[in-house]
A and B are shown apart, each in its own frame.
Chain A
């Protein structure tokens, strides 16, 4: 399991969330997204980051997570290149 931290530039409301989730689905890999550890909004930090993480392939889950503009997030997955690409998307959209 690999972690990749990133800052969400515009937050994950409907449109950017849809673009992000589509990129996750296109990658064909299982990825989770959550608030990074240390964020006061994270519920029940587990020390490894990704507390309260959700399946990044589900737009319903990602919308429910309600990431705000400028929030620090963590991506959890197996493929480092996929995580890097997704982080770049989050930091640019």
Chain B
């Protein structure tokens, strides 16, 4: 399964995320994106069901049950949604590349928080993640492969 970039920015290894729970891959393996600091559409990284949609994070489960978490910034749960507007509905089916939310990383930065977005393969072991992007990525481009 190819996982595509939910937004545009700079891909960096998970261990560089300024949060130990993500950096140590306790949530799961994956990659992070430092977003371009301007309003962006956040796109679905895989096709499947949008099983959880919060202002600061969402989870899509593919038809085989494998699920991807996208977390919009670090500690952004405390912004109570002032940085994002949902464009999809929890529980709906969604295709890779469809918009999930409109997000304002510049508001996250203004609040003194990190806008880095971990994109995580939930319940995956690190060795099944490959072809991990590093450097500039454009929303919708290949981000990593989940074997």
Contacts and interface: CB of A to CB of B under 8 A. Distances in A.
A64 B51 contact: yes
Contacts of A59: 27-28, 122-123
Contacts, number: 39
- Majority secondary structure, B binding face: mixed
B16 interface: no
Nearest to B66: A60
A14 B77 CA distance: 10
Interface residues of B, number: 20
- Majority secondary structure, A binding face: helix
B51 A13 contact: no
A60 B26 contact: no
Interface of B: 19, 21-22, 26-28, 51-52, 54, 56-57, 59, 61, 65, 67, 69, 71, 77, 122-123
